[in-house]
Structure 1
């Protein structure tokens, strides 16, 4: 099953020092993913370049949503500045300053993203509809809950 990855900020240009190698989100232990209330079976993973940004991702499906965890060279400021980022909100995830934002709210492709900086680039958790409009929950509540549960499994 292929999973469409929404990147929070796909604009070119990365500020700061380049990241030598992106962290692999699929290295989060499966027991930690399961403890976060998500089916730990990986449904998609990979790496891609978009503009001047590099991305590495791992996706999991849980009932009505798909969770995609990514590491990227995209700066947090670029997520905030992207015109597709709706309702940006500064939040705290596990003691880290983070940014919550939505993409395509009110559509079948709606997604909620949580992004924070790390030593391995930015880390992004995206929760989006798995394709069944009859079983939809609160994407942002799930993204916050899951990113909080898995924050300690990501690079500092």
Structure 2
């Protein structure tokens, strides 16, 4: 975006009177674009497969869109089960983000892979089907969620244990 700068100056006339003159110059305004969070969709397919997720189901964003400043990527569990969906959210937030009682509850400290993390539930989420975990990597908050498909009913796994295992399997691919 360029801004126009007008400068008023004086020039002498031949009879010694001052004459106002106007000069202009275009000054380029340099604004740095806002930083963007690390994109979890850049996790290599081999790592996604090792974590038990189906690389063919990768979805960038939620319905194709990032939300609230978070870069988002998600995958279904690998067939034949396809019982749950894992999403990874990355944004410039602190861990206080999940300490908001109007959105999250049942917070507890956990160890996931090599990281200290906070396990949480979204309000009104069924803890028998869903879970979330969050930790900080540098200036970024990394959140991961597991959502069990409604057709599963009573899953043969604990959602938090399963999510923590998936995130631990991806640990080496995540920012530090």
TM-score w.r.t. length of structure 1: 0.75
Bigger relative contact order, structure 1 or 2 (CA pairs below 8 A, ≥6 apart): 1
Asked if the contact 2:127/2:159 (under 8 Å) is kept, the reply is no
**SS at 2:172 equivalent:** helix
Gaps of 5+ in 2: 1-33
Residue 87 (structure 1) aligned with residue 87 (structure 2) = no
Superposition deviation, residue 140 in structure 1: 0.6
Aligned to 2:160: 140
Aligned to 2:66: 48
Deviations 1:33-65 (A, max 9, x none): 111111122342134343xxx111111111110
Deviations 1:8-57 (A, max 9, x none): xxxxxxxxxxx82211101111111111111122342134343xxx1111
Among 33, 49, 52, which residue is 1:34 paired with? 49
Q: Distance in 2 between matches of 1:70 and 1:126?
A: 8
Aligned to 2:140: 121
Structure 1 residues 96 and 135, CA gap change in structure 2 (3 angstroms):
same
CA RMSD, 1 decimal: 2.1
Structure 1 residues 61 and 33, CA gap change in structure 2 (3 angstroms):
same
Superposition deviation, residue 83 in structure 1: 2.7
Gaps of 5+ in 1: 1-18
Aligned to 1:21: 36
Q: Distance in 2 between matches of 1:87 and 1:107?
A: 10
Aligned residues: 134
Structure 1 residues 107 and 77, CA gap change in structure 2 (3 angstroms):
closer
Among 148, 156, 169, which residue is 1:149 paired with? 169
Residue 101 (structure 1) aligned with residue 132 (structure 2) = no
